[in-house]
Amino acid sequence: MIRADRRSFLCGSAVGALALAAAPAAKAATARITVSTPMAPPDWALLQRRLLHANAEACKVFYDRYFDERGYFLCFERWGANDGPDDAIENVNDWPLLHALGGAEIVKTMYTQAWEGHLRQFTAAKTKDVEIAREGMFYKEFNVQLDWQHHAEEMTLFNVQGLSDPNNPRFHDRARRFSALYMGEDPDAPNYDPEHKVIRSLMNGSRGPMLRKATALDWAGDPFDTTGFFMEHGEDTYEQTLHHYDEYTDVVGDHPLNLFATTLALNAYMIDHQPKYRDWLLGYVDAWAQRAKDNNDLLPSNVGLDGIIGSAADGNWWGGTYGWGFSPVNPVTGQREDRSRVLRTILGFFNAYLLTGDDKYLDTWRKQADRLNAARRTVDGQVQTPTMYGPEGWYGWKNGPHQTNSLDIWWFSMKASDRARAPDHPWVAFLEGRNPDFPEAALRDGLAQVAARAELQRQDTTTPDTRLADACLDINPARVTALMQTMMGAIHIARPGWSPTTANAGGSPLYARLRYFDPDSRRAGVPEDVAALVDRMTADETAVTLINLDVTRPKTVTVQGGGYGEHQIRSVTIGETRQAVDASTFTVTLAPGAGARLVLAMDRYVNQPTLRFPWDR
């Protein structure tokens, strides 16, 4: 329904005018802007809408085949780090982001059913040999005991569910209950020691921490006949799977991977801003920042139960499973492989930065990068930097300077000094005005990837009784990176990440410059037929083009600063006309076929992030 004020504007003659009206008295004032200048549909806008549609259609076909009416993933259910419960729900990774961008409502329906089904499915699934999971792989709807590389992968959907479903009481309950597992509030899960600010083991969960040496069985799960199964990690037999974990024994004490637990507290905090969640998150990250400072600016990979660096790993700061010195033998190849996971854990520091905008959380990682680069060597004229550290010192040499996470750090800080430390990237080149073809190329590539994965699904011959939970991860059709970059100016920290220098990780919240809502449909994402292109970002300014591809009906879209309203928008300028906003959101009415480039003056990271939709604040 078109309100009278919109109708009168569209019938007027002031083409391209910018109108500002006071928002109705509510929890948060919102500037209202009307755009009436006709805009010929650019290719990027048409491709964006095609990609949103293609993603949703392909996801529906995928869901109908691989999930049942309960939301269960149709597979041979197993416990383990290779092909366990986390892989089952990863089959709908990026679906919540797709919906939050403006994807079809059916996407939300499907991933919600899949999540609810997943919790029931693996609460009921039990082990015989692995003791911790004999009464169920989940307890209190959370994995009973595993490491945070795999917990984070399992939480990838949940950690962004609030983007589209912030008022879901089940989400609220789980966000608080899951956080309690890591804040010392659940007596069944004594994972956290508040005195030393340590999560007491690499292996932790709803039944508490593992405070002994881990066995290969703990990691690999019960024996099974692998005949007829596709084995994602290359093993031919269960024995190879078991031996993959022969050296995964040292798990007692804290590890930087546990920083992924901070996203649970972040979500709980963003529901209603209870201070205890923010306090715990910042306190835990601050403890790790201090450990890095005390360890010559390198994050240690083991902190003992006494809070002393390396005390649970024979005094070695680099010790422990997934630590700086962790290079176990791969039984498939017989070769040692470097498997430090320390560099993935920057997400905990990003969560602290999201809450505070305090540069100290980025500086910890700059200093660590400086240490790694200072250890460089030159071989045959080629500069190399290390990725690992052990009894003989640095090893795991890679060509070039250490730049892991450097583009992400620049994305947060927007400092020229951080940009100078980072490599180039096609999207960054576009934002800097050097790669004008990027949007169309990236969106076309996204369409090609959706089509390729749909084809892989058609070629898939697995059946539920010969399908492990990880067999279809490369068939999941959702491809959202190009949409996130072009529409929201967002980084996509996932597996793989948006950049070769982003450490692969799961379970990330949304880190975005802008976000959109449909106030008429009362949902997240741009309205149908609306497209958005962020073409420039600086420390205090964002430029975005909005267009309504519908030539018969106006569309209204609410624009938000940041993924969670953390950025304050001072003003909006269209052409020569500037209007004050002074809020985290403003609302634009786009006349039929109209579009405009808006330049937003912003103060970033000055608001406490929230999951509430703009009209509920």
Task: Tell me the sheet residues that pair with 514.
Answer: 561
pLDDT for residue 503: 87
pLDDT, tens only, 222-264 = 999 999 998 888 899 999 999 999 999 999 999 999 999 999 9
Q: What percent of the chain has pLDDT over 90?
A: 93
The superfamily CATH assigns to domain 4-36+514-616 is Golgi alpha-mannosidase II (2.60.40.1180)
Q: Hey, how many other C-beta atoms are within 10 angstroms of the C-beta on 20?
A: 14
Residue 21 above 70 pLDDT?
A: no
Largest CA distance in the chain: 78
pLDDT digits (tens, 9 = 90+) for 545-559: 999 999 999 999 999
The DSSP-derived string for 585-607 is EEEEEEPTTBEEEEEEEEETT-S
* Sign of the alpha-carbon torsion through 163, 168, 171, 176: positive
Query: Which amino acid is it at 82?
Result: N
Fold match between domain 4-36+514-616 and domain 44-488: no
Domain ranges across the chain = 4-36+514-616, 44-488
Distance CA 277, CA 180 (A): 9
Tens-digit pLDDT profile for residues 80-119: 999 999 999 999 999 999 999 999 999 999 999 999 999 9
Closest CA to 102 of 152, 50, 147, 153: 50
Lookup: tokens for 519? 């106030």
Contacts of 617 (CB under 8 A, 6+ apart): 26, 27, 28, 565, 610
Average pLDDT for residues 430-436, to the nearest whole number? Answer: 98
Evaluate if residue 296 carries a pLDDT over 90. yes
What's the pLDDT tens digit per position in 323-372? Answer: 999 999 999 999 999 999 999 999 999 999 999 999 999 999 999 999 99
- Of all helices (H) and strands (E), which one includes residue 58? helix 43-66
Residue 189 and residue 197 in contact, taking contact as beta carbons nearer than 8 Å? no
Provide the pLDDT confidence category of residue 28 given band limits of 50, 70 and 90.
Answer: low
CB 362 within 8 A of CB 353: yes
Number of neighbouring beta carbons within 10 Å of residue 418: 19
Pairing relation of β-strands 585-590 and 31-35?
parallel
Both tokens assigned to 385 = 């930097």
- Give the contacts of 290 (CB within 8 A, at least 6 positions apart): none
Residue 590 phi/psi, 5° resolution? -100, 120
Confidence band for 29, pLDDT divided at 50, 70 and 90: low
Q: Which two tokens stand for residue 153?
A: 């992968």
Residue with tokens 């499915």: 121
Which of helix, strand or coil describes residue 377?
strand
Segment 539-546 shows an average pLDDT of: 98
Q: How does residue 14 score in pLDDT terms, banded at 50, 70 and 90?
A: very low
Rg (CA), the chain: 24
Terminal Cα-to-Cα distance of the chain (whole angstroms): 24
- Whole-prediction pTM: 0.95
Other beta carbons within 10 angstroms of residue 295's beta carbon come to 18
Specify the DSSP element, H or E, that contains 219: helix 216-220
457-472 confidence digits (pLDDT tens): 999 999 999 999 999 9
Strands 523-524 and 514-518: antiparallel
User: Domain 44-488 belongs to what topology?
Assistant: Glycosyltransferase (1.50.10)
CA dist., res. 45 & res. 342, Å (int)? 39
175-214 exposure pattern, b = at least 16 Cβ within 10 A, e = fewer: bbbbbbbbbbebeebebbbeeebbbbbbbbbbbbbbeeeb
Whether the per-residue pLDDT at 9 is higher than 50: the answer is no
b/e per residue, 523-552, with b = 16+ CB within 10 A? bbbbbbbbbbbbbebeeeebbbbbbbbbee
Write down the mean pLDDT value for the chain.
94
What is the rounded distance in angstroms from the CA atom of residue 355 to the CA atom of residue 58?
Answer: 36
SS3 content of the chain, % helix, strand, coil (to 5): 35, 15, 45
Of the pLDDT bands very low, low, confident and very high (cuts 50, 70, 90), residue 10 is very low
pLDDT of residue 8: 28
